[in-house]
Structure 1
Amino acid sequence: MDLATFVVRYLPFFAKGALITVEVTLCGLLLGLVLGVIAALMNISTIGVLRAIGRLYTWAIRGTPLLVQIFIIYAGLPQVGVQLTAFVSGVIALGINSGAYIAEIVRAGILSIDPGQMEAAESLGMTYGLAMRRIIFPQAYRRLLPPIVNEFVALLKDSSLVSVMALTELMRVGQQVSSSTLMPMQTYVMVALFYLLMTTVIVFISSRIERRLEARS
């Protein structure tokens, strides 16, 4: 099979796999953002138990391989009666993993804001939660955008590991095409090009958003 025929025949399969990759990564990132913000607030909490739980979560997840976490969720949970689809398992695994890294990003962003602003808000009668929503987070989110985009790109590439769950994302499609065509070089170069395209688009959109935020400020 020549290269042109290969591309024409299998491009739709790669495109469909790339779409599933984007879907599972986006869902995982959204879950990670929720978990990350919660864990970050726990990490800076004055309540010892909450702080310990937050630190335990980030320590355990950051200290173990994502692939092991994927197998615990996909292969381990059914053993205790929890049945999940490959897509949901992938989202949960990516979300839990990403949340630990986002927690550190958010924590650093919050701590980068002058503590005097929180003290001033409290002196005006604001609760801790209200001060976070009205004063701290609006300033911190601009600083959080670049590292969170980097986490998004890293998560997109790490999503290739969910191919072990037989989820037909981009990497899994590449494995199937490679085994059926016996053309691994062409196949994985195509997979790499799709990943490169997706990460480039993410970085481009992020840079545009950053420029708009800078212009508004």
Structure 2
Amino acid sequence: MSEHLWHILTDSFFKILIPGLVTTIPLTAISFFLALVIGILTALVQFANVKVLKHIARFYIWVVRGTPILVQLYVVFYGLPNLGIMIEPFPAAVAVFAVNEGAYTAETMRSAFESVPAGQLEAGYCVGMSYFQTFWRILLPQAFKTAFPPLSNSLIAMVKETSLAANITVTEMFMATQRIVARTYEPLALYIEVALIYLIFSTVLTWVQRKAEKKINFLSEKTFDGETR
């Protein structure tokens, strides 16, 4: 590696990393939190089997999962202005990623809700719990344990998918790299560098996921032992 190329890589590292910390990570965190809210509510609508709302939920999931997220970004950011709806790049990206991931989260949570034995819900009602108490104390904890691994994988995938936000002028890591490439004409080295930074982020999240899974399993076993005693 030439000294010139090494200087470019070392100089660009923090210029790529900082947008990752101040834009990519917040974009991922906010979008994923909103996706969880959307997903849980949509899954509950289906689980409760309210026909009209269930059809609306299924239509939402069908449309969102059946169209590319890049197209959704273009529709919201470049298409809606034709209707007089102007959205800034970052909020537009948050909205699209949240709605898109919410559809997948809804299916994950629906499967998790359905995996909870019906007898446990009936037992909650029998001891006088309301629907909300049964949901909060019985249904959600067990469903969340089942859904945690796929949800964690979705979060890791979303970190990488945020690179698509560069297409609507969000200055995250990938766009920062593109600007440096346009100035230095070193695409191979710089794109490998940003790939390694994404890999670092994903590796940290994978490590956190494994630790969290062990903690959840430990707490579940502890709770189960306490109940059996």
TM range (shorter): over 0.9
Moved more, 167-176 or 119-128: 119-128
Structure 2-normalised TM-score?
A: 0.91
Letter in 2 for 1:3: L
How far off is 1:214 after superposition?
Answer: 2.0
Distance 1:58 1:42 in 2: 12
How far off is 1:4 after superposition?
Answer: 2.0
Quote the sequence identity (%): 32
Letter in 2 for 1:45: A
How far off is 1:122 after superposition?
Answer: 2.1
1:192 aligns with 2:195: yes
* Superposed structure 1 runs of 4+ greater than 4 Å apart: none
> Aligned pair count?
217
| 8 Å contact kept, 1:42–1:53 | no
How far off is 1:123 after superposition?
Answer: 2.6
1:171 aligns with 2:174: yes
> Which string of whole-angstrom CA distances, capped at 9 and with x for unpartnered residues, describes residues 102-157 of structure 1?
00111111111111111222233333222111111112211111111100011111
**Who is 1:10 aligned against?**
12
Letter in 2 for 1:159: T
| 8 Å contact kept, 2:27–2:94 | yes
Write the mapping of 1:112-131 to structure 2, written as runs, cut at 5 A: 112-131=115-134
How far off is 1:21 after superposition?
Answer: 1.0
Distance 1:37 1:136 in 2: 12
Moved more, 108-117 or 37-46: 37-46
| 8 Å contact kept, 1:118–1:131 | yes
**Who is 2:207 aligned against?**
204
Unaligned runs of 5+ in 1: none
Local SS of the residue matching 1:126: coil
Unaligned runs of 5+ in 2: 222-229
The counterpart of 1:92, out of the listed 86, 91, 95, is: 95
Distance 2:85 2:69 in 1: 20
**Who is 1:41 aligned against?**
44
Distance 1:98 1:134 in 2: 25
